[in-house]
Amino acid sequence: MTKISFLGLGVMGYPMAGHLAKAGHAVTVFNRTASKAEAWVKEHGGASAATPAEAAKDAEMVMACVGNDDDLRSVCLGPNGAFATMSPGSMFVDHTTVSAAVTSDLYGAAKANGIAFVDAPVSGGQAGAENGALSIMCGGDQSDYDRAEPVMNVYAKLCRRIGDSGAGQMTKMCNQIAIAGLVQGLSEALHFADKAGLDGAAVVEVISQGAAGSWQMSNRFETMLDDNFDHGFAVDWMRKDLGICLSTANENGASLPVTALVDQFYKDVQKMGGGRWDTSALFKRLQVH
């Protein structure tokens, strides 16, 4: 049993923390909306805390899954941040999708305090979190990763260290770049099928078994054809992630023409009022335009 603090109980963090509790770990949770933390404790036991610093006190491992760079800094730094009370030899595992720059800053701050730091963004969406089947891509020192992996495996389908600190976040950028192109391609295929008078479901049944098959196709085509986008990974969050990708590409010289284009298509979806729609709403944009 490990004494764990989990910071952030959104659609991903809530079930992830739940898996840790079910595995027998002693879990203390923090969430900006205290009622969410209270609901989690009522369902899973453990305890809740008023601040990240309070949650992290005496914890062997602190895990976070929050919204963005600023959110992560706020739960780590300052008098109410987790780093203020974490003991030397403890570990911070960050499941948030953030920039490599903030990861570098926090890795350095953690090391200065004798705290291990592993960047470990996840992929698999809400369903993956709920089913304990996430793909976790990690960066950090090998010895730190080796300590964290058995705990993360509680909610992982695959957990792998890619390289030194920041490598996990860079890998998550690759993930989002690939998804952006896949969802746009799927949307255009379904749109074309509709304009050609074809049965979209029948088309997918055939092409999904060939080279065109993908997770997006298998898990999103039905809701796309049903005009149902009130689920899944929100467009607002995808634009945040793609912004990180494009900013990093400007720094390292990578060429991302399709990603830049799809990011603008997602901007159109936001203008349609679809900021909280699933990323598959690119299909709805084609229907309207």
pLDDT tens-digit series, residues 203-216: 999 999 999 999 99
Q: Count of domains in the chain?
A: 2
Is 146 found in the same domain as 182?
Answer: no
Clarify whether residues 83 and 12 are in a common domain. yes
Helix (H) or strand (E) holding 162: strand 156-163
- 């990974």: which residue's tokens? 233
pLDDT digits (tens, 9 = 90+) for 67-90: 999 999 999 999 999 999 999 999
- Tokens 């949307």 identify what position? 187
Last residue of a domain, one of 110, 141, 164: 164
Average pLDDT over residues 96-106: 96
Which residue blocks in the chain are alpha helix, DSSP H?
13-22, 34-44, 52-56, 69-76, 100-112, 125-131, 142-152, 167-195, 200-207, 215-225, 235-252, 257-271, 282-288
**Which among 36, 157, 172, 271 is annotated as catalytic?**
172
Whether 240 is catalytic is no
DSSP state of 87: P
151/198 same-domain check: no
Domain that holds residue 187: 170-288
Both 29 and 95 in a single domain?
yes
Judgement on whether residues 177 and 160 belong to the same structural domain of the protein = no
Indicate whether 108 and 245 sit together in one domain: no
- 220-274 pLDDT, tens digit each: 999 999 999 999 899 999 999 999 999 999 999 999 999 999 999 999 999 999 9
- Which pLDDT value is given to residue 191? 98
pTM of the model: 0.93
- Measured distance CA(149)–CA(74) in Å, rounded: 25
CATH number for the domain harbouring residue 74: 3.40.50.720
